[in-house]
Every structure is written in structure tokens, then in C-alpha cells.
Amino acid sequence: MITTTTGKVIPSTGDSRLDVKLQGEYRIIREDMTCAEFHVSVWGFVIYRCVEGNDAAWNSILEQLQRHIQENLESEQCQDLLPFHDLHVIDKSLYGESVDEVRAHFQAWVPKNLEARLRPDTSCTISDVSHLSVDITPRYKYCLVVDEICLESVQHPEGLGPVVKLICRDWECPWSPEEKLQGVQPPFHDGITEFDEEDVGWMYMPLLFYMDTYEKFHDGSWDDTYVRPPFIDGTDDETNAVGHWRRTVIN
């Protein structure tokens, strides 16, 4: 038998991972934030700052994220996870870098960070513990980016509020250099086709969605969550699209 966060007692499913999910929406995070060979338990996305200036907006994004995380954990009675949360900031070194350049940096950062978490007395390597899937938890498969348009979104909180970019680590560009010269078709922010289903390897994520997105990626896939930018809610309503405030109004 297992007990949910609401106090309801239900039968075990026989699947330990599913049982954890049934106990409470965020308890799966506890299951995946460590393994026996690590001396540090940690969870949370890495966030890159790729634009200089407007420190007030940048600090507002970090503060709003931390507040939403705390409120969500409290509502799910998972406050004990908060001390283990690490919104790891990578700042300054990637000012002005593109999504592809951030992805390359993140791909190099992941194995280095995993190795740093190994216990000093262990004889295991990252390859040895890879069968535990520690390198495919949300912390190591996706990262966040704040650029100019994300900072601007702080001043345009209508709709779902400020946003960050969410990058998929394993996405590979399907376009040739010649195809990429075609440019981006409006109203989209990346890609070369006119189809809203085209996967460009990143999407906008409202700050409000941080916890739900992190939890969903434990068992869900990128394809299940992806929405082609600038849209964020699965609709093609341009009045709610990220960057709508940049459009020139002609009288």
C-alpha cells in the first residue's frame, strides 16, 4: 500500500517508479536526484545568461523562478526537496551566444558535472553508472537560456508571464547549411518551414511552468511537450506569442 500527499491510501502498482509518482506529483524528483555513487543529491535546471545588461530583469527572472518553485513544492507537501534544488547559473562567459552554441557548451558541461558528483572513494566512472540513467534526468537533458527577448518578457507579463528558452540537449540539426540560408518563416523564431510542427530544438517556457516541465520530463518526451516558438500554449494566436510587443504598429 502507498499513501498519497492527500493522505489517501491506495494499493501498490508493483512498479516502484509508478508508486513514487502516485505518492505525489514531485516525489519522482527525489527518486532521480541521486544514486549510490554520488556524494551530492541535487536537482534543477541549469540556466544560461546570454545577454549583458538589464540586471533588474535578470534578477526578477531568478527571483520569480525561486518563488514559484517554493510555492509548488509547498502545495505538494514536498518542501524537503527545496534544499536540494540548484538552479545552476552559467553567466557572462556566453554573452551573445546562439542556441546552438549554448547547446554545445551544455553537452560538454554535463559529463564534467556528473564526474564531479562521484564520491571520492568510488572506483566507478560515469560510464559505470550510466545504466542508472543519471545522465538523462531533466537536469542533464535540458537547460534554460535567458536572452534579450526573455528579459523583455519581464516587462510584458500579460498572458502566461515572463519566459525563458528551454533547450533540448540531444537535438540534432536536420538542415544543411544551404537550407538554413532560406531564413526563418514568420511568425516563427527559428526553423525554415511554414509548419508549426517543425522541431527547432528549443522552445519558450513560462516561468510558471518550471516545476511542471521538470516533473514531466522525468517520464515524458520532448515531442510530448514541444511547441514551436514563438508560441507557448499550442495555439497560433500571435497576440499571445512571445515577442508580440516587438511588432511595428502601422497606423
Burial 66-78 (b: 16+ CB within 10 A, else e): eebbeebbeebeb
Report the candidate in 84, 99, 103 with the shortest Cα–Cα distance to residue 169: 103
Domain ranges of the chain: 1-32, 41-246
Cis before 187? omega within 30: yes
Q: From first to last of its 251 residues, what are the pLDDT tens digits of the chain?
A: 333 333 433 344 454 444 444 445 688 898 888 777 888 889 999 999 999 999 999 999 999 999 999 999 999 889 999 999 999 999 877 899 999 999 999 999 999 999 888 888 888 887 777 656 788 899 999 999 999 999 999 999 888 899 999 999 999 999 888 888 888 988 999 999 999 999 999 999 999 999 999 999 988 899 999 999 999 987 877 778 999 998 754 44
Distance between CA 180 and CA 203 in Å, rounded? 18
pTM exceeding the 0.75 threshold for the entire prediction: yes
